[in-house]
Amino acid sequence: MDRLDNTIRPYAWGSTTAIAELLGIEPTGEPQAEMWMGAHPGAPSRTGRGTLVEVIDADPQGELGAAAVAKFGPRLPFLLKILAAGAPLSLQVHPNLAQAKEGYEDEETRGIPVDAGHRNYKDANHKPELICALTEFDGLCGFRDPSQTADLLAGLDVDSLKPYVDLLRAHPEEAALREVLTAVLSADREDMARTVTEAAAACARLGGDYAPYADIAQHYPGDPGVIAAMLLNHVRLQPGEALFLGAGIPHAYLNGLGVEIMANSDNVLRCGLTPKHVDVPELLRVVRFEASGPGVLRPEASPDGEEVYETPIDEFRLSRHVLPQGAPARDLTLPTPQILLCTAGSVRTGDIELAPGQSVFVPANEKAEVAGSGTVFRATVVV
């Protein structure tokens, strides 16, 4: 197995302290948003044998196992991250596999450079993801019931929001959500900025259920995404709780530290809370206009002590092992590739000691035992 040396991405929304505290190092003073573990070409993990991309390319069958290569091809199909949000991320959705393939082929045919700012589809893959909280973690996930959102908006007593309140109360669920989101994102920018400013002041004054949206507006003053965010469920995860985000579900992370795993893709369609490109027609094609609860996941424990976060996705499977002091070693050997990440305590796998924030790549079928006292997350695939 290989100890991983991982890149930390300095996105502007990142916390300046959370990742450094996890790693037990001094903060740099700059935002540290995500630490990537895997074989994504944008920032592959490094090993003593080269980057993880190079290691897998040299022997896909040996590193990934025959079953994983047969199902997913000669690549690691997931990306594991430590995510540290110090400010809200962009409000966004991800396409399903068919939409990603269609969108990617269309933009390739039209000759849009893959690094162009207005490009929507960087690859032909979908991007389902799971976030598991290491600290209290705030986010937005899925549309709230339209009648409840109507009550929330009406409570602000902002005249320019009253047409949205009427739409949310008068139309069937799907039509109401579609019409209001379309109207918000298509409105005159100056008019919408005034509405957002007035709504943000009311949110700050009222507090309570409005407080998360007041905070969002502080970071993105005048952004239409502030009103779009009010259509969504606010959720606060406790450590160990998780959210699964499937295709078409609007969401945003607001604050906190977590372990995130996703299919190996960069495809994001943004709704707001960002200076980046927002393609409203394509976004509306991808969004699933249906109300649902955020669907907080808690791990399901198996007899061997593994706690699994169940999802309908085969490209990744996330679980954790909480190792009490003095417990016997646990055998984690699998016929599939895995990344083991320590998030608390001190654990050992083979002759590699792992402190919080440290990780290893374990090739398929390689003997993998963990011992010590701490918490280990395991990322692998389903074949």
Helix or strand (DSSP H, E) at 345: strand 338-349
Cα–Cα distance for residue pair 66/325, rounded to 1 Å: 36
Say if residues 340 and 360 touch (Cβ distance below 8 Å).
yes
Helix, strand, or coil here: 155?
coil
Active site (annotated) includes residue 49: no
Say if residues 31 and 11 touch (Cβ distance below 8 Å).
yes
Cα–Cα distance for residue pair 336/62, rounded to 1 Å: 10
- Could you say which of 46, 270, 317, 378 is catalytic? 270
Report the candidate in 277, 287, 159 with the shortest Cα–Cα distance to residue 228: 287
CA 335 and chain centroid, separation = 27
Helix or strand (DSSP H, E) at 21: helix 18-23
What one-letter code names the amino acid at 312? P
Tokens 């903060």 sit on residue = 27
Cα–Cα distance for residue pair 212/363, rounded to 1 Å: 43
Count CB neighbours of 289 within 10 A: 20
160 Cβ neighbours under 8 A, 6+ residues apart: 191, 194, 195, 198
| 113-to-46, 123, 141, 281 alpha-carbon distances in Å | 28, 12, 31, 20
Q: Tokens for 177, please give them.
A: 């959500």
Cα–Cα distance for residue pair 165/222, rounded to 1 Å: 20
Positions annotated as catalytic residues are 270
